[in-house]
Amino acid sequence: MFAAQLIDQQLQAITTIALILAALVASGDIRAETNPAFAPSSATNRIERILRVNGGSGDGAYSEGDYVRIQADPAPVDQVFDKWTGCNGCIKDVYVALSAIIISDANITITATFRDKNNCGIDDIDQIRTDILSNPTDVSNVLSRKAALYRWWRLLWHQGYDMNMNNYDATWESVLINPGVNAVAQKAVNAAYAALEDIMANGTIIPEVAGTPDESGPATETDWPVYHGTDGDQTGYSPDVGPSKGSIAWRVAKGNFWYAAPVIENGRVYTAAPGADVMAYCLDEITGEVIWKGRQFGTDIYQTPGSIFSPVVSSNKVLFSTGWWQAGKHMAVNKRTGIIESQLAAGGTAGGGTSQLMVYKHNRWNVILADATTGKGVWQFESGGDLSGEPVLLNNRVYAARQSGRVYRFNASSKDPVWQRNLDVNLRGTPGISSKRVYVGGTNRKLYALNEADGSIAWSYQTLVGETENKTYQYFSTAVEVQVPSLPNPNRVYVGAASGYVYCLNATNGNLIWKHQVSDWVRSKPVVLGDTVYVATLDAKLFAMRDTGVSAKELWQTQLGEHGFTADLVGNANGILAGGMDLVLYSVSPTTGYIQWRHSIIDAAWIGGKRYHADVYGGQYQTSPVVVNDVVYIGGPDGFLNAHNVDTGRRLWRFETRGRISATPRVAEGKVFIGQNARYDEYYAIDQHTGEPIWKIDDLGWASIGATGYHNGQIFVGSVSGWLYGINAENGRINWQYQDGAAGNGFYPHPATDATKVYTGSHDGRYYAFNQTDGSIVWSVDTSNKPDSSSGGNPDSAGMVLWKNHVYVQKRGSRIAALDKDTGAEVWHWRQPANYLQNGTVLAYDDKIFGSVVRDVTAIPYFARIYAFNDVENGGRQLWSYDDGGGGGGLTAPVATDGKIIFASSAGVFMNCVNPNNGTLLWRCYVGGPMEEGVPALYGDKVFSHHRNGYFFAIE
């Protein structure tokens, strides 16, 4: 039995008889049964140790290996329990008041700590709250305070607070319209802090509202195979009954893109952070306490990307690189204070010093060696093709692999390769390096070991056919070669795989020594300490296994959240550090598997055991779900397409890409069609039932957030580079293609289809209707709002909706317009209120259309509103609007069943349902995160929705 599982069961038993045991355990008169995983080998030589508990019960004398119940004292007035400190790795859960401790080989003192209820949970924000009372905002601190203000605002907003209490919308608006550092901006910041103080002290949480269960009998289940609808019209309507209770049926984790490993040096942990404001942390290695935050004072999620790359530590600086999908800017941060001392655009190839070096990938093809203290380039090597994983710098040597099969080694002194080896197989992942060998993994299930000196193949190991996983993009983790002197064959290689196995190979000849199956795919590079191997899985488990010489003996496994791991592990005797796709960094005891501390990589606070985000990770577009035959399909910024059972949420399969999936899947002809974001060009057709790939186009282009259209055996896909394609759905052959005439402008909207035409729009400012057969233009229309603008309509993420005789679209973010379906002529429009954004898809249902607006979704999204109109055939008049509880819509769109309009909000953290005739609220369900470019999907008695907080919901 695993240690962590054993403690869970024993702790439950202790809790059951807590009233009897409490006094005895506290006095030391009763000792718990010895835990066999940690007991001394000799039962007759047990040594007593003293446990002292400050601020709680559990004091006494115990033997090594005993476990003991500990209970924090009741919290003082105006305080709440925070955590236990002392004895790292001995306490079952340091974040709960009732826990258990394993007695180690020394006397122990632990302390229950408490925090003030008035603290928001983020120390630097609380410090500003104190400072601003005696030191009003001025030109020297206004940018810092404003960025922190935005974090505090989002922290309360994510908890569900009513942010418009006392009509504070005017206060937030004042901050938004005064972006500078002048006296007016300073005054606005001061007023906003005062408003947040009022909300925190006197505010209310927006209540959930339960709906009335539908008792009409079994629900119909109509497929929803396309973005925003049951067919190519994309109207957003389903004839099914839809959700009536407004309660969560199930929830599954859907992670973020996260591959950045932390760095440990001299008792400190340096980690990247993806926030618009907080882009770096320095933490105490033992306690996890924040030593400093690296802040860039960003407030707009589309303007200031955070850091998503592993930091580079030099003698007196730490270099963090920020960017959406690749390094865009290098930030050199003072190692002692966390203050940014310099910043430089990435991609430069000259001017860098060579005493302290780093290497990084740029524009997918290029290897750049740079000065680690500034980011200035030393040299650049153009590989001529996409690189596999990241380049590696070790001992003044650079290693890189190309996806097409070529491996390179350079000396730091020159960009000319010392050697290069073509393996004639597609490669995936970052190379693993030792003093004698270079390890790379191929798509043929082979791990290759190349001699470091000349690149010749030393050996290769191929996994068994039964261990094949075709749904993975990268089969192997990065391999680790180590010496384990205690074993008969000390030269070992450890590598994880998408088969769910961990392999131990002889480093000299590649022979398999053992393999051990864990619970899920292993993407993270393992850590090896002595004879113990630590691996993390995609189902969020961390395993410790001892290499016995001929097999692996599993010591423990620990569940770390829900989202899983793709970033490499790092660690030492003080702790194993694992950064998850939930954007939490965990420190785990190498001995017990207990969590020693956790730290949110995205700035956040834990309140009542739940984490609430304060900062925001830009560019993480959530995709929309589709549902066919009791299976719901969902992509996400983690790069995985998942298939789940609609009733239970059980995952049926997952398919991995190398980018981020922001585009909505399309299901047709037994296939799921999907493209990628983040400048990755592959486009896939996947078996709807198994998740196995059927065909792939390697270079179609970056599909961004636009869905795939389908009709009569053909799919229609737009790219960011400005191409629209008609593609044979059976085999992936491109039938026709059209470029919008303004390269790079891109086809963004979700295309709609009828019997003969495909409708979409481009950032060239035009909406189009194309003939499906040959791609010829039936009509195109410039939707610029002349005389306001002559630059075009900028069709964006709002989908095209076909309803009766019209195509409903957005115009330049400020209008909803109706175009004649046959000619493209504009026949009606509605203009939004000033300063608001209209970029959400329209719902069309029951002779009505429903649109929405949002205020500054990229900064403080304090307001969103749903509007109901008669459709054009019935006059296009506004009927009602809804903006209660965070409102609805924004960048997202409502969906409908008979008698229900259902929507999320880009300015709220609830799912909502209202009456379509008058906007009366029917139910409201807290989900904890907004919805942006995605839209919900309806099926049977449920609605499915994907939210920014990293969860996918089924609501009934």
Would you kindly state where each structural domain of the chain is located, as residue ranges?
A: 3-116, 123-202, 248-255+620-955, 481-588
Given a cut of 60, whether residue 36 has pLDDT beyond it is no
Could you tell me how far CA 213 lies from the centroid of its own chain? 34
* CATH top-level class of 248-255+620-955: mainly beta
- The answer to whether 293 and 307 have CB atoms below 8 angstroms apart is no
pLDDT in tens, 231-267: 999 999 999 999 999 999 999 999 899 999 999 999 9
Instruction: Determine the average pLDDT of the residues in 557-578.
Output: 98
Q: Report pTM.
A: 0.94
Whole-angstrom distance, CA of residue 919 vs CA of residue 903? 12
Name the DSSP class of 872.
G
pLDDT digits over 126-144, tens only?
999 999 999 999 999 999 9
pLDDT score at 466? 84
- Give the chain's length: 956
CA angle 528, 534, 537 (to 5 degrees): 140
**Residue 40: what pLDDT?**
39
Residue 264 pairs in a beta bridge with 269
Among the ranges 23-27, 113-117, 476-480, which has the highest mean pLDDT value?
A: 476-480
| Location of structure tokens 């650079």 | 398
pLDDT at 412 over 50: yes
pLDDT tens-place string over residues 805-850? 999 999 878 899 999 999 999 999 999 988 888 889 999 999 999 9
pLDDT the model gives residue 514: 98
More confident residue, 360 or 886: 360
pLDDT(4) > 60: no
* Angstrom distance (rounded) from CA 467 to CA 446: 12
Q: Are residues 407 and 385 in contact, defined by beta-carbon separation less than 8 angstroms?
A: no
Please, which residues bridge with residue 912 across strands? Answer: 903, 924
Contact yes or no for 296/273 (Cβ under 8 A): no
- Domain 481-588: which CATH class? mainly beta
pLDDT at 784: 66
Q: Judge whether residue 18 has pLDDT over 60.
A: no
C-alpha dist (Å) from residue 763 to 739, 752, 768, 791: 12, 17, 11, 10
Average pLDDT, the chain: 92
Cis bond upstream, residue 311 (ω within 30): no
Task: List for the chain the helix, strand, coil content (%; round to 5).
Answer: 10, 40, 50
Alpha-carbon separation of residue 445 from 346, 466, 469, 478 (angstroms): 35, 11, 9, 13
**What are the tens digits of pLDDT across the range 202-232?**
999 999 999 999 888 778 999 999 999 999 9
Residue 677: the pLDDT is 85
Tokens of 28: 């030391």
Instruction: Judge contact between 673 and 679, C-beta under 8 A.
Output: no
Measured from the Cβ of residue 19, the count of other Cβ atoms closer than 10 Å reads 7
Q: Give yes or no for residue 303 having a pLDDT over 90.
A: no
- 435 by Cβ neighbours in 10 Å (0-12 / 13-18 / 19+) ranks as exposed
Short-list 811, 824, 697, 817, CA closest to 757: 824
What's the whole-number mean pLDDT along residues 181-186? 97
Q: Provide the percentage of residues in the chain whose pLDDT is more than 70.
A: 94
If pLDDT is split at 50, 70 and 90, which confidence band does 897 have? Answer: very high
Euclidean distance between CA atoms 81 and 99, whole angstroms: 13
Question: Cα separation of 74 and 172, whole Å?
Answer: 38
DSSP 418-461: SEEEE-SS-EEEEEEE-SSEEEEEETTSEEEEEETTT--EEEEE
- Could you say which DSSP state residue 107 is in? -
**pLDDT for 786:** 52
Give the per-residue pLDDT at 44.
Answer: 44
> How many helices and strands in the chain, by DSSP H and E?
6, 72
**Quick one: pLDDT band at residue 468, thresholds 50, 70, 90?**
confident
Whole-angstrom distance, CA of residue 601 vs CA of residue 623 = 23
Q: Taking a C-beta distance cutoff of 8 angstroms, is the pair 743, 699 a contact?
A: no
List pLDDT tens digits, range 713-760.
Answer: 999 999 988 899 999 999 999 999 999 866 557 888 899 999 999 999
Mean pLDDT across 778-803: 74
Handedness of CA 80, 81, 82, 85 (dihedral sign): positive
| pLDDT band at residue 952 under the 50/70/90 scheme | very high
Give the residue from 304, 325, 415, 429 showing the smallest Cα distance to 370.
415
Q: pLDDT per residue over 679-720, tens digit each?
A: 788 999 999 999 999 999 999 988 877 889 999 999 999 998
Q: For the stretch 811-829, what's the b/e string if a residue is b when 16 or more beta carbons lie within 10 angstroms of its beta carbon?
A: bbbbbbbbbbbeebebebb
Structural tokens at position 87: 């004895």
Rounded CA separation 549/531 (Å): 9
CA distance 15 to 18: 5
Find how far residue 226's CA is from the centre of its chain: 24
d(CA 615, CA 275): 5
Instruction: Give, in order, the Cα–Cα distances in Å from 218 to each of 221, 636, 922.
Output: 9, 32, 21
Check for a shared fold between 248-255+620-955 and 481-588: no
DSSP for 782-814 reads: E---TTT-SS-----SSPPEEETTEEEEEETTT
Confidence of residue 621 (pLDDT cuts 50, 70, 90): confident
* CA distance linking residue 596 with residue 608, whole number of Å: 19
- Tokens standing for residue 236: 């957003």
pLDDT one-digit tens code per residue, 39-83? 433 444 567 899 999 999 999 999 988 989 999 999 999 999 999
Per-residue pLDDT at 751: 94
Query: Would you place residue 793 in the very low, low, confident or very high pLDDT band (cuts 50, 70, 90)?
Result: low
Spatial separation of the C-alpha atoms in residues 155 and 275, rounded to whole Å: 13
Pairing of strands 446-451, 437-442: antiparallel
